[in-house]
Amino acid sequence: MVKEIERAGIPVVHICTIVPISLTVGANRIVPAVAIPHPLGNPTLSKDDEKKLRRGIVEKALKALQTEVHGQTVFDK
């Protein structure tokens, strides 16, 4: 799906837990997520801390969308 959206000309960032799968399907901007059943959350945290964690991941995704890349790039910092 990521690749088809990219093909249509829209920059796209893939937030996903299993990065090797994202690499093999051909996503260009990849942000690693937390866990399979809760990629953008962590139920062991308080609501506030969980939202902060989620915001952190979305911020990375926005940074990825604003970064020029020349090939597949994993934004894990």
- Contacts with 2 (C-beta within 8 Å, 6 or more apart), sequence order: 12, 14, 22, 25, 26, 27, 28
Determine, following the binding rule CB under 8 A, whether residue 51 of this chain makes contact with another protein: yes
- Contacts with 3 (C-beta within 8 Å, 6 or more apart), sequence order: 25, 26, 27
Contacts with another protein in 21-50 (CB under 8 A)? Answer: 21-22, 24-26, 28-29, 33, 35-41, 43, 50
Q: What are the residues binding another protein (CB under 8 A)? A: 1-18, 20-22, 24-26, 28-29, 33, 35-41, 43, 50-51, 54-55, 57-58, 61-62, 65-71, 73
